[in-house]
Amino acid sequence: MESANILWMLVCACLILLMAIGIAFYYTGQTRVKSALNMVMLTITSIVVTLIVWSLWGWSIAQSGSDVIGLFGDPAHGFLLRDVVTGNPAAAGAKGGSYTAITAKGSALPQLTVALVGGLVAVIAVDLITGALAERIKVSTWMVFVVLWITLVFAPLAHMLWNGSGLLSEQGALSHLLGTRIHDLAGSSVVWLVAGVSALAIVLIIGQRRNFHVVPLKPHNMVMTLVGGLIMWVGFLGFVGSRENSASPVTAYAMTSALLAPAASCVGWMIVEKIRTHHFTALGAVSGLVSGMAMISAGADSIGPLWVLIAGLFTGIICSFCASLKYRFGYDDSFDVVPLCGISGLLGILFDGLFAQSGGLLAGGGFALFGADVLACLIVIFWAGVWTAAIAFGLEKTMGWRVAERDEDLGIDIVDQGESAYDFDDYTNSVYQGSQR
């Protein structure tokens, strides 16, 4: 069983990385031709920078470091994963190379697998934000942002929720105070809601794309977007399945609801679109899938199958209405990160408070869990909103987020990456200028 759990955690790590690739496809299909490459670059940099920061101090702040007033762990204890990796094979009983994961006494699972999965979950949280910033930001500023965001926003929030001594965890101060157990299995709040809140904060600071609402800013490849959404769903099974830290019967149920909720949400979204626009749009269907994933992350193991379907249906319906808010309020959340991740993530926590088998309001558990969930959401929104706005504002005043107006018209790919995503011209005017030394 011990090695089965290790195997399962490693499989989940692969699946979560696949989810990041799904997000890249999902967002890139929605860009215009001239900014597709920049979108993929935002995903690649999200992955690489997050993994480096996570191994240096992110893991320590989020999980392994000793707790500081329930908000974060000290960054030194697990610096460069030194608390979960050993270079002394004799001590760990390993054969072959020198380095191996440390398995603590009395524990079946090496903490390194938890660190691995945690780092990849951090990748997903950052990667989800990129969709709001499409077609206009410099990759260099984004990379600096990721370093600061993981350190100040994600890692502390992951600590609050998932570390046993964190403020918002099941045994934490808030749960204790309200006499309940705040539950967020895979991070409707810490991953999805935080991504939505952060995306909104950055978008309000960096402003609209040029010609937002003037020229059509249409997706250039809907098939890519749909396939990306489906790949995300495959990866999402690992995202949810890894949170029990074992290949257990609970994991089996969590993965089942991770399939049912997006399915119901997809149907809900499509019904609304059919009534409002007389079409079953493909973008609506895939958006329903994504919002369903955001919603079910919190209560994948605590909500019964019937309520999972009902919650999914309502998520699709509510989010499809929220998706047009950006035009009313005039903020350019390019690919709807705020409704799809933020609002559905929020719904996920609230539905957990309403429908959870143990403690849910509609399951006869009274107001304690629901109230605690609402309070936890407010804390998460406040923390993520304030820190992200501060980081984004600081970067706007120093490095600057945007490229020049003329460059944005020309296409950010050519300006920021120096390449173009697609070259379908059957003639070329390009003149070879020699190569760099």
Partner 1 sequence: MKLVTAIFKPERLDAVKTALAQAGVHGMTLSPARGFGHETGHQEIYRGARYNDDLIVRQRLEVIVADADVDTIVSTIVKQARTDRVGDGFVWVTPLDRVVRIHTGDENEKAL
Please report, as ranges, the residues that interact with partner 1 according to CB under 8 A.
210-211, 214-215, 406, 409-410, 414-415, 418-420, 429-436
Is the distance from CB of 102 to CB of 133 less than 8 angstroms? no
Length of the chain counted residue by residue:
437
| CA dist., res. 49 & res. 318, Å (int) | 34
Output the smallest distance, CB 428 to partner 1, in A: 8
Which residue, among 78, 115, 112, 79, has the nearest Cα to 94 in the 3D structure?
A: 112
| CA dist., res. 413 & res. 432, Å (int) | 19
Strand partners for 67: 73
Output the smallest distance, CB 418 to partner 1, in A: 4
- For partner 1, the closer of residues 397 and 437 by Cβ is 437
Which residue, among 291, 315, 290, 312, has the nearest Cα to 303 in the 3D structure?
A: 312
Which residue, among 340, 220, 255, 342, has the nearest Cα to 12 in the 3D structure?
A: 255
Is the distance from CB of 200 to CB of 342 less than 8 angstroms? yes
Output the smallest distance, CB 26 to partner 1, in A: 26
| CA dist., res. 257 & res. 262, Å (int) | 9
Helical ranges in 242-331 per DSSP H: 249-277, 282-299, 305-322, 325-329
Output the smallest distance, CB 416 to partner 1, in A: 12
Is the distance from CB of 47 to CB of 147 less than 8 angstroms? no
- For partner 1, the closer of residues 135 and 273 by Cβ is 135
| CA dist., res. 3 & res. 280, Å (int) | 46
- For partner 1, the closer of residues 273 and 408 by Cβ is 408
Output the smallest distance, CB 429 to partner 1, in A: 5
- For partner 1, the closer of residues 2 and 419 by Cβ is 419
Sorted by sequence, the CB contacts under 8 Å of residue 78 that are 6+ apart come out as 57, 59, 60, 63, 64, 65, 84, 115
Phi, psi dihedral angles at 197 (to 5 degrees):
-65, -45
User: Residue for token digits 């045994």?
Assistant: 171
Output the smallest distance, CB 281 to partner 1, in A: 23
- For partner 1, the closer of residues 96 and 427 by Cβ is 427
Which residue, among 60, 17, 7, 14, has the nearest Cα to 245 in the 3D structure?
A: 7
- For partner 1, the closer of residues 398 and 433 by Cβ is 433
- For partner 1, the closer of residues 68 and 410 by Cβ is 410
Is the distance from CB of 167 to CB of 174 less than 8 angstroms? yes
Task: Copy the structure tokens of residue 131.
Answer: 């969709």
| CA dist., res. 356 & res. 233, Å (int) | 23
- For partner 1, the closer of residues 184 and 408 by Cβ is 408
- For partner 1, the closer of residues 34 and 326 by Cβ is 34
Which residue, among 213, 132, 118, has the nearest Cα to 161 in the 3D structure?
A: 118
**List of E strands, 13-69:** 67-68
Output the smallest distance, CB 420 to partner 1, in A: 6
- For partner 1, the closer of residues 241 and 411 by Cβ is 411
